[in-house]
Chain A
Amino acid sequence: MGTELGNYKSVVSARCTDKEILKGAQDGGIVTQLFAFALESGIIDGAIVAGNGAEPWRPEPVVATTRAELLAARGTKYNLSPNMSLIKEVTRSYGMDKVGIVGTPCQMQALRKGQVYPIGLRDVGDKIALAVGIFCMENFPYQSIIQLVEDHAAMKMESVKKMEIGKGKFWVYGKRGQVVQLPLKVTHKYEQPGCHVCLDYVANLGDISTGSVGSPDGWSTVFVRSRNGDSVWAKAIAAGCFETQPMEKVKPGLELVTKLANEKITKNKKTLEGRATFGVGKGLRNPYL
């Protein structure tokens, strides 16, 4: 295929040097560190992140304007956080001219569509100062996560410290130290259906995109993609925000990222094809045509 990883200027394995950020981060703390640095150095006025919602592990998009608010949003919540829902408001009542936003590949797509075809997003496009994409194989409705954690893993949502999908398993870490792993096979039927037509794994449209796959535990794989991303990344490196290792030097490396990206895209392309003949002489809609 060759296009599964999108365009990028450079790719490294990295983790942030800020021990406080790293402590509660999902992986290398790339997202939180990037925003914290961008905030301190005036690159952004604030960032739309997945904050903590009304229920445990249910994210709610928030506009973080302080380091503390950024830190509070660390960690992956494996259910929907409609971060794009704030993209206009952040330039209105929040009065921001330089906006940061984190999001899954589909949210990066929504963002870029809003810049290229600004239909309901007046004066927003030029105010996007830093878009950080996170890799994503699939996402879940909140109720699916309850199902997985409470029924399958037999844990209480509020007693969970971290969730993680990796090494072919869905991991649930309890606050008291207990660990439950579920085979991914169990999780499949709970996936958000809209994910099955998604053709992007590594957030091809982020300025910078990051995820865990490809790098060792506690480290992240980072693609620097756009001109803007390149400039922010260079400044962050110069400011000593990150330790990096060449991607070729780490295991399992880019090979695994490429493999997973390929698997996702191939599988979902098949789903799209199936949709075309879903009925009898009738199909379902294809957004890419």
Chain B
Amino acid sequence: MGLLSNVFKRNTGDATPQKPAVVKTDAAEQLKPKPMNKEVKIVAKKIEVGYVHMSGCTGCLVSFADNYDKLFTILDRYVELCSCLALIDARHMDTMDIAIVEGSVCIQDKLSVDEIKETREKAGIVVALGGCACYGNITRFCRGGQQNQPQLESFVPIGDLIKVDLYIPGCAPTPQQIRNVCVMAYLLLRGDDKQKELATAYLTPLMKLAQGGTEACGCDLMTNVINQGLCMGCGSCSASCPVRAITMEYGKPNIERDLCIKCGACYAQCPRSFFNEAIISQYEAIDDAVKGALQ
């Protein structure tokens, strides 16, 4: 229990992190339009997160929202959402602790290319959320020729244009994985030494995925697991696939490659891609901790 004991006391016990203070203003002042930045400052203890929407379907954002009431707890205590076109009327990016990016980048669309570069400049940490941002996913199949921008034919995962710090693969990524990363990112940036240590250990495999490249496919199970003598036939990959492209034949995955949309979920979920025993074996404590933080 080394890492976990005490780590979360501050969040789970009575001493929850300060809630944003209620700002007292007189009626006249309340009528004045308030600049965005002022509000952000009130809750300086939270981490500032920008949600950047590239060529995505908003399903990743919906997954974030599918944390339901816990989304509000996240936004109340840990995350100040400083930009997110779908939810917030902030037209331009400010500097931020973390940028969560959904979607891939169309290199024939100058605005998109500029925006992903700007994201890198403005954000301390860049997270690729979902199969498209990490690996291209369905946009890998784009090849132009559609009205009214038939020339928009080339889409690349964001990691092909900027350095990405962390991946959350999946199409869609799961609400629970996004939730876990939010809590851990908060601990990484605002926690004490022990909390930072835990958060680092938790986030490391997701950072390694980001260092591992921008290509994913069901074939990864062949090249990186079966061909490497590592598959033990558990079936996790098959359960993870959103399009049921993987069946288990005599205990080994068989990938219907024309069904695969290249989301990267199967390989990332496979216990023989990464298995950081020190963290995973504390599944009970981690679950307690994350849920405690969101109580």
Contacts and interface: CB of A to CB of B under 8 A. Distances in A.
* A joins B in a complex: yes
Interface of A: 6-7, 58, 61, 79-89, 103, 106-107, 109-110, 112-123, 125, 139, 141-143, 192-199, 204-205, 226-228, 275, 284-285, 287-288
A7 B269 CA distance: 24
B240 to A, nearest CB: 3
A106 to B, nearest CB: 5
Contacts of A119: 168-170, 173-174, 177, 240, 265, 268-269
Contacts of A61: 235
A119 B251 CA distance: 22
B275 A109 contact: yes
A260 to B, nearest CB: 19
Contacts of B141: none
B250 A142 contact: yes
Nearest to B247: A85
B266 interface: yes
Contact of A284 (B229, B240, B248, B284): B229
Contact of A288 (B224, B270, B277): B277
B20 interface: no
Contacts, number: 165
B274 interface: yes
Interface of B: 63, 168-170, 172-177, 180, 205-206, 224, 228-236, 238-242, 248, 250-252, 265-266, 268-277, 279-281, 283-284, 286-287
Contacts of B276: 288
B133 to A, nearest CB: 14
Contacts of A89: 239
A275 B272 CA distance: 14
Nearest to A289: B274
B236 A110 contact: yes
A120 B234 contact: no
Contact of A85 (B229, B248, B280): B248
Nearest to B181: A117
B261 to A, nearest CB: 12
Contact of B239 (A88, A142, A228): A88
A113 B281 contact: no
A7 B37 CA distance: 49
Contacts of A194: 229-233, 272
B91 to A, nearest CB: 32
Contacts of B174: 118-123
**In this complex, which of A82, A107, A227 has the most chain B Cβ atoms within 10 angstroms of its Cβ?**
A82
Most B C-beta atoms less than 10 A away, residue of A89, A119, A284: A119
B184 to A, nearest CB: 11
Contact of B266 (A87, A120, A125, A196): A120
Contacts of A275: 229
B220 to A, nearest CB: 11
A105 to B, nearest CB: 10
10 contacts: A7-B281, A61-B235, A85-B239, A89-B239, A106-B234, A109-B280, A113-B269, A113-B275, A123-B175, A194-B229
